[in-house]
Structure 1
Amino acid sequence: RDLCVGEYFTLEGHPEISSHAAEERDFTVTALQVTAQNNLPKALAARVERLFARNRWMRKDADGAHDAQLRQELAGHVAEGSSRMHIQFTAVRRGVPIVPAYDPRTDLPQPQMQSAIVVGPEGEEVHCDEMGRVKIRFPGTRAQD
């Protein structure tokens, strides 16, 4: 229960990984899912589950699908009396750089249409400097700027 995303741990007692070098046994937690069952009486627990289902307080996978299979497995363990909590995590070796997913189609801001007013000295229709540029002012800014 003390496991947190971003922390690292040393894996010990694994048949294969325990034989690796010390730095290869350290792992960083990148994702953590905790599913817990309350300890209410069964009649009341069923009502609470229905209430949560109505409020859509169910965890969703990355794909957006409900984790019905995981909840059914947990319910089976609870019915057996073997478990009231299920913790699932994803980890990478500590030496592996963690880089967030990047998609320029969604991560870069999309350019939007903007409007501005061409400004210049009094009496001139359009004033250009020696390089052919015009001075503009965006709506909402002060004229003296």
Structure 2
Amino acid sequence: MVTVIDGKGLIYGRLASYVADQILAGEEVVVLNAEQIIITGDPAEIFKDFKHKVEIGEAASRRKGPFYPRRADLLFKRCVRGMIPWMTTTGREAFRRLHVFVGTPKQFNDAEVQVPETAKKAINCKYVTLGQISEHLGSNVR
């Protein structure tokens, strides 16, 4: 059974924890529109934090990482990876059941899309989307 989730307007951490629970339970999860996932908070601080993570593992200065992604779909996958036991076989197998896309591929146009209630929130504060962060980090995928 494949669960298809539309990430448009959902909260980053809440959605990541929901997805982590689902993949650890053996469910295959597909997240669409990763560039429209929202991170709440001061945009300047969020940009600074993500830029710092990328600069720590710059390939030009360090060869061993940690290598941090710049694309919106990979940023979300990295967040989910932090919520599962990555160093175990169970965690690695669970991570393989997660598929994240920027936009909506053709094969999922007619799919039944779910929107988890736990990842929704009325937003009345400052926020940034993963697409804006990705653009700030220099990704070419939009």
* TM-score greater than 0.5 by the shorter chain: no
TM-score (norm 1): 0.21
By percentage of residues, which structure has more strand?
Answer: 1
TM-score (norm 2): 0.21
